[in-house]
Structure 1
Amino acid sequence: MTGSDVLSDAGISWLAGALGHEQFRLRLQGVAAEHIDVETFESSDYTVGGDYAFRIGVGIRSSDELDPDALPGTQASLALQVGEGSVAVHGVVACIEMCGRQNNRREAVVHLRSPLTLLDGVRNHRVFRRRTAPAIAREVLQDALDDVAAVVVEGGDEAPEQPMVVQNNETDLAFVRRVLARDGLFLALRQRDTEAEVVIHDDLAAVTDTSVALRYARQSGQVRGSRDTVDKMRVWGGLEPSRATMSDFDPAYPDHSGPGEASTSSDVAGAGTLRMFGQRGGGQDASQALADVHMAALDTRRQGAEIETENRALAPGVTVEISEHPDDAVNGDYVVISTYQKGDQAAVLHGGTGVGRPTYRCVARLLPANVPYREAPADKPSVSGGLLVGEVEGDDKDKAHLDDEGAYRIRFAMDDGDADTGQASPPVRMSQPYGGKDYGMHFPLLPKTKVAMAALNGDAERPVILGALSTPRQPAPVNTNNRYQHLLRTPGGHALCLNDKPGGQRVTLAAGNARGSKGIDADGNPKGAGWLDIQAGDQEAHRVELVTEEGAMQLHAGEDMEVRAGGNRQVTVEGSQDTWVKGDVTLRSEEGAITHAAAEALEMTTDSGDLLLETTDGDVQIQAGDSLHLQARGPMSATSEEGSLSLVAGDGMLHVHGEAGLTIQGGVDQDIHVGRDAGLVIRGDGSVVLRGDMVEIVADEIVQSADTISEN
């Protein structure tokens, strides 16, 4: 709707002087005001910031001008008083009921609603970031009201900036009221001559400059009510809690989550404490501010007054001065918080000029002017019965966007705003199945990951990530193709799989590689850079496999390490193998043989200690396909403790050489035999026997020396 579509009457001429006793008029789009007769009207919900409604009975004398189907949503105005001191209420047509014809007029009932009705039937889901409550409310109001009503901000200069405000399954009007109320602000409608203004304020008495002075004059047979009198008045003080306590826990303020507390300053007695939890994050300062607002709202309800008058200027925000009441404590200044209005001029219209006069009654509720008006903050729409959906954000698709505390930035699925990437939310924490001080677990989520979120204390403005959601673009790692697998796979392809397939149970831990391997295929077989595979199932299939195909492997134990095999053990090394032991090395075969075989040389070395080869019950055999060299820097001995000692050269010669001498010695009374047939015998008593078919002695000089020389 545009400004030219609103009302055709120019200026405010329709509020000019009355015809006879006529006082009430209605202005509709496309119908001349003089063709509309207002017979009756009655109001409801005319409160501070309320979506007031007036039910107006009319007669329209020119049927050609009226198009009932075109009127809903158009602007309209009801004059409660015309002429000097005119008073009008502006709004939009919510409905028109056509009631037939009478006396050449079309009878109808027009339902006039406040401009706020344009927000009351509209539900939105949206997110506001780093905005104050007045700024959010003004944006929502201006978008909805367009040129139907002006939006004015006259309070809330000190309202704090909120990191995120979420409208979740609530009407625009309920959302605006809720956002304003928790910062001690409210909506009010200020009636001008041609339109209503929607005002955002924190001081009800300052909404309008209209002030009305009314005298208390109780009606009687001699005293009749007038527009400057109050003929009925009652004052009350109600029982409300005398204290308010707001508690909360905000993970962003772990050391500043104490409660906020407020007490009433009213003289009216109170009882009990209003205790609330989880209504607002932001730490103790925010809890204290909310406690103050709740206490002010309790004080607003704690006391007040209700009057009846014929004065037509009363509306929420109007200041009223009461005087001449017999109870002087009642006299004083008040501010109107609601009105109920009812008018009837049918007798004037149907009876002609001078017959009767219009009747009008206003019942107004008042608040002492020294008591600040506050609305009780409404609870946020809870999402405890469901979940929120969003997407993790970040600039690098291959790296999790985390802050120093491990929190993410997300964008709600309902958020169609234009915030930069990573700026669509304050830090959002992720719930973990295990954690505490200096311990826990966390598998980081990459940007574009769809997540399900819960709301802390049911508050959508404080989401907590519960986990990732599988989608066609974000498929689950386990599906119908690998239904027996319990699988953990990282973006780099590392995987841990517990496979429960009957007959093929196995546990596999696999590492991905730079080529994007997933570590484990759909059948549960490992692949990639390396893996640990533990197979169960049939007895023949039991196996543990630890593999690294492209890199090194290191096993380290700070203390003892034990390797045990129930069957055979085989170690295959394609390169060299070095075994370094700081202490002793024991290689023992309890039942079988030990074989050392080398394709080339076999070297056994001890730097400073002894080298001992020993078999307790069996033989020791050292065998070389070619030569065998035994060498010692010090003495060398070959000893047979119980049996014989043989040195045999099967095909060659036996050389025995001593640089410092050669000693061959037998045991006591034992002979030494030299030669194939023992041609040289050195007996144990020292005698020497040379025996042979021929004995040849060749020398440059032969010396014989003996006690006796015998010849046979």
Structure 2
Amino acid sequence: MPGSSDHTTFALSIDGVSAALSVASFEGSEGISELYAFQIEVTTPQGDLDPEGIIGAKATLTITTAEQAPRYVGGIVSHIEAGELTDRSAVYRVSLVPAVFRLLYRHDARIFQEKTAAEIIEAVFAAAAVDGYRLALQGSYTTREYSVQYRESDWAFVSRLMEQEGMFYYFEHGEDAHTLVIADAKQYVDIVAPETVAYRPPLGAMARGESVSRFVFGRELRPGKVSVTDFNFKKPGLSLMSTAAGAAESELEVYDYPGEFELPDGGAALSKVRLGEWEAFRRWGAGESGCARLTPGYAFTLSEHPRDAMNRRYLVTRVHHTGVAPQMADTREIVKSYENRFEIIPDDVLFRPPRRTPRPFMRGVQTAIVTGPSGEEIHVDEHGRVKVQFHWDRAGKRDEKSSCWIRVSQVWAGAGYGAMWIPRIGHEVVVDFLEGDPDRPLIVGRVYHGLNVPPYPLPAEKTKSTLRSNSSPDSGGSNELRFEDKLGAEEVYLHAQKDWNIRVENDKTQEVGHDEQLSVGNDRKKKVERNQSEDVGNDKSINVGGNHVEAIAGNESQDIGANATKNIGGAFIAAITAGANASVGGPATVNVGGKLSVGIGAGKEENVGAESVETVGKDKKVSVGADLKTDVTGTAAITIGKDESVSVGGEQKIEVKEKITITCGDATVVIDKSGDVTVKGKDIKVEGTGKVLVKAASKVIIASDGPVEMEAAAAVKIKGSAVNIN
């Protein structure tokens, strides 16, 4: 075995095992960002070991050379099996692994929110009672809004987080403990002193101690440019494309989507990490040695190589160990107890682990229950997103912290237009996952369940299709648009729990094939900015329980093909500011059961083409504020059943072209156009409280068939140019 050490001893100690254990042989592999495993064969001269007590026990493999300090490999026992049994000893094979190996057997499905990757790792370790670790991180990490461990082991979950972020891990080993170290920088620690290891090829078959016996160094063709992008729905126009390029092979580009970042800074950091994955192994080396101190995650300096360029400091990335106890070797061969094969990269390269851990892939949709704060029915953000509780999430509290905000697919989504149906707390929704990623849920549907049943019982109401809402807070009310497709009973039903507002920017056409009924429980108001036309093919009835007020700013025209009847139970008042014209083709009758008042602000003109008859059942009074003039073309007759009284406040003038005849019983007064005035009667009396003057232009004649008497209380004077008394 070239490069082996022939002065090396091995020992294995297991907590709780007091029996002497002799290491016959071992083989193990360890690497950066890898869980190491050593298979060790031991013998014991004592009785059987208890496997139950050994599984999970703390153990340490010690590799001791004559030249340098011991190399320790600590861990726990993950496997033990009994082998050969002789009279002198029993053989057992034991597997030694790190304590975090236990996390491979802790599987869970849980959600982490508003934590960085480092904080999530610490939370997972705390839940698993892992304390043998140290975070040696130099970089800053973005807070993850939502990160899901889904049906995977704790270790797989932690590993893929580290790989995504570019963190790597290795182990520190001491005599009594081992520590998991998580790092992200080139601050590599040297191996146990001396940190320089000489290159010394073997002399024939002889070992050369802890030296490097074989060493090669090369270069790989690797991509030199990485571009990543993603989509931020909050800023859909923002370009998230980010590119990182190295010094070589930049024409070989790896482009990937989605990058799972929301801002350009996140893309810049991610593209550098992804490029670092490729750059880490662009230059690499491998070799063989007998130096057990070579440990992944630690650096050493190679010396004495004939190629001067190879004499430099390297980071150990992987080591495969083989050891055989000298006493167990075939005596016919040269005893070569220990050797290893190792891999390295230059120490000026930042190690970025390859992404080996598979990510959980959601192979279909899931359902979940919408959640929110206690006492609320609807919990939503400004983007219409809601929160849910997945059925597999045993840690969720069915509240506003059960998940991240999840976008909800709508049937239409435009810039300020589209559909909006917000799932409410308690609703069961269908959740899909972008790219199958459990960290990127999207609600794509909703379903009923045993508590949330359809609006109408099925299958009895199978012909009904409906959109029914539910008033919030829940009061039993709803808005609804329902379609009934049952043959012969087809119906479209629209129900508004409170207000119903319709706005039509242009025309609205409504056609009803049969009856229409409108019932308004309170007021109704209609406003038409321009014309309104109403065409009723048959009868029209309007019943007004209270007052009816109608105001017309312009003209009104009403055409009635037959009769018109208007019954007014109380008073009727018609006020016309300008003229009024009523044309009746036939007879017209106006019956007023009570009092009729007509008020005219200006003049009134009444034209009757034929007779005009006015009958007043009781008194009639005509009051004229100014002059009164009555013109009669033909004969005028006034018949008064009782008394007539005429009172004139000023002058009264009566003018008749032919003759005036006043008859009262047997008495008559006749005035004709010739100027003659004839007064006839039985007794004619002329009395005056003052003087009575009879004056004529020619003569005054007093003629009587009987005597003529003149009486006076005083003297009687007769005066004239001549007085004849016969």
Shift of 1:300: 0.7
* Contact persistence 1:26–1:76 (CA under 8 A): yes
* Contact persistence 2:40–2:93 (CA under 8 A): yes
Aligned to 2:704: none
Aligned to 2:699: none
* Contact persistence 2:379–2:386 (CA under 8 A): yes
Shift of 1:62: 2.1
- Please give the secondary structure, in 1, of the residue aligned with 2:99: coil
User: Do structure 1's residue 122 and structure 2's residue 102 form an aligned pair?
Assistant: no
User: Do structure 1's residue 317 and structure 2's residue 268 form an aligned pair?
Assistant: no
Amino acid at match of 1:105: S
Name the CA distance, whole Å, in 1 between partners of 2:390 and 2:134.
30
Name the CA distance, whole Å, in 1 between partners of 2:28 and 2:339.
11
Deviations 1:359-404 (A, max 9, x none): 3231111111000001245675343632363533236515x44444
Aligned to 2:441: 463
Aligned to 1:307: 287
In structure 2, relative to structure 1, the CA distance for the partners of 1:581 and 1:111 (3 Å cut) is farther
Name the CA distance, whole Å, in 1 between partners of 2:659 and 2:671.
16
Shift of 1:175: 1.4
In structure 2, relative to structure 1, the CA distance for the partners of 1:21 and 1:180 (3 Å cut) is closer
User: Do structure 1's residue 600 and structure 2's residue 600 form an aligned pair?
Assistant: no
* Contact persistence 2:137–2:184 (CA under 8 A): yes
In structure 2, relative to structure 1, the CA distance for the partners of 1:427 and 1:548 (3 Å cut) is farther
Using the TM superposition, name which of 462-471 and 133-142 deviates more. 462-471
* Contact persistence 1:23–1:82 (CA under 8 A): yes
Deviations 1:592-645 (A, max 9, x none): 665544443444444x34455567x777654434444444232323335xx634
Name the CA distance, whole Å, in 2 between partners of 1:351 and 1:216.
28
Shift of 1:699: 8.2
User: Do structure 1's residue 112 and structure 2's residue 72 form an aligned pair?
Assistant: no
Decide which of 53, 77, 97 is 1:93's aligned counterpart: 77
Deviations 1:494-547 (A, max 9, x none): 31222224133333332336xxxxxxxxxxxxxxx8899xxxxxx999665655
Aligned to 2:365: 386
Amino acid at match of 1:218: P
Shift of 1:243: 0.8
- Please give the secondary structure, in 2, of the residue aligned with 1:435: coil
Instruction: Note the 1:240-251 alignment, pairs <5 A.
Output: 240-251=222-233
Decide which of 60, 71, 74 is 2:57's aligned counterpart: 74
The RMSD of aligned alpha carbons is 4.1
- Please give the secondary structure, in 2, of the residue aligned with 1:298: helix
Decide which of 276, 279, 283 is 2:259's aligned counterpart: 279
Using the TM superposition, name which of 551-560 and 269-278 deviates more. 551-560
User: Do structure 1's residue 28 and structure 2's residue 14 form an aligned pair?
Assistant: yes
Structure 2 residues without counterparts, runs of 5 or longer: 1-5, 503-510, 640-656, 679-726
Aligned to 1:7: none
- Please give the secondary structure, in 2, of the residue aligned with 1:334: strand
Shift of 1:244: 0.8
Shift of 1:194: 1.6
Decide which of 314, 320, 325 is 1:334's aligned counterpart: 314
Name the CA distance, whole Å, in 1 between partners of 2:111 and 2:134.
23
Shift of 1:240: 1.7
Instruction: Note the 1:57-72 alignment, pairs <5 A.
Output: 57-64=41-48, 66-72=49-55
* Contact persistence 2:19–2:46 (CA under 8 A): no
* Contact persistence 1:310–1:361 (CA under 8 A): yes
Q: Percent identity?
A: 20
Deviations 1:407-452 (A, max 9, x none): 4455555555589964555544333322322333334444455544
Shift of 1:660: 2.6
Decide which of 672, 681, 685 is 1:704's aligned counterpart: 672
Query: Larger C-alpha radius of gyration, 1 or 2?
Result: 2
Decide which of 107, 119, 123 is 1:135's aligned counterpart: 119
Shift of 1:650: 8.2
Shift of 1:41: 2.2
- Please give the secondary structure, in 1, of the residue aligned with 2:280: helix
* Contact persistence 1:648–1:654 (CA under 8 A): no
Shift of 1:88: 2.3
Instruction: Note the 1:252-651 alignment, pairs <5 A.
Output: 252-254=234-236, 256-265=238-247, 269=249, 271-345=251-325, 348-349=327-328, 357-377=335-355, 380-383=359-362, 385-387=364-366, 389-394=368-373, 396-398=375-377, 400-410=378-388, 414-415=392-393, 422-423=400-401, 425-480=403-458, 482-483=461-462, 484-492=464-472, 493-502=477-486, 503-512=488-497, 549=521, 554-555=525-526, 573-585=544-556, 595-606=565-576, 608-611=577-580, 622-639=590-607, 644-649=610-615
Amino acid at match of 1:41: F
Name the CA distance, whole Å, in 2 between partners of 1:405 and 1:198.
43
In structure 2, relative to structure 1, the CA distance for the partners of 1:310 and 1:609 (3 Å cut) is farther
* Contact persistence 2:368–2:388 (CA under 8 A): no
Aligned to 2:197: 214
> Higher relative CO (CA 8 A, sep ≥ 6), structure 1 or 2?
2
- Please give the secondary structure, in 2, of the residue aligned with 1:170: strand
- Please give the secondary structure, in 2, of the residue aligned with 1:233: strand
Aligned to 2:172: 190
Name the CA distance, whole Å, in 1 between partners of 2:189 and 2:573.
104
* Contact persistence 1:150–1:197 (CA under 8 A): yes
In structure 2, relative to structure 1, the CA distance for the partners of 1:579 and 1:385 (3 Å cut) is farther
- Please give the secondary structure, in 1, of the residue aligned with 2:214: strand
How many pairs align?
638
Amino acid at match of 2:241: P
Decide which of 24, 43, 66 is 2:28's aligned counterpart: 43
Amino acid at match of 2:347: A
Deviations 1:560-584 (A, max 9, x none): 6666667766555544454455555
Amino acid at match of 2:442: V
User: Do structure 1's residue 229 and structure 2's residue 211 form an aligned pair?
Assistant: yes
- Please give the secondary structure, in 2, of the residue aligned with 1:23: strand
Amino acid at match of 1:30: G
Name the CA distance, whole Å, in 1 between partners of 2:374 and 2:227.
42
TM-score normalised according to structure 1 size? 0.77
Shift of 1:189: 1.7
* Contact persistence 2:305–2:311 (CA under 8 A): yes
Deviations 1:672-712 (A, max 9, x none): 47479xxxxxxxxx98999xxx97579896433349999xx
Shift of 1:234: 2.2
Name the CA distance, whole Å, in 2 between partners of 1:333 and 1:167.
39
Name the CA distance, whole Å, in 1 between partners of 2:666 and 2:175.
158
- Please give the secondary structure, in 1, of the residue aligned with 2:671: coil
Aligned to 2:646: none
Name the CA distance, whole Å, in 1 between partners of 2:548 and 2:333.
123
Name the CA distance, whole Å, in 2 between partners of 1:708 and 1:500.
101
Amino acid at match of 2:50: D
Aligned to 1:180: 162
* Contact persistence 2:8–2:64 (CA under 8 A): no
- Please give the secondary structure, in 2, of the residue aligned with 1:235: strand
Structure 1 residues without counterparts, runs of 5 or longer: 1-19, 514-528, 533-538, 677-685
Name the CA distance, whole Å, in 2 between partners of 1:204 and 1:273.
25
Deviations 1:284-320 (A, max 9, x none): 1111111110011110122211111121122211212
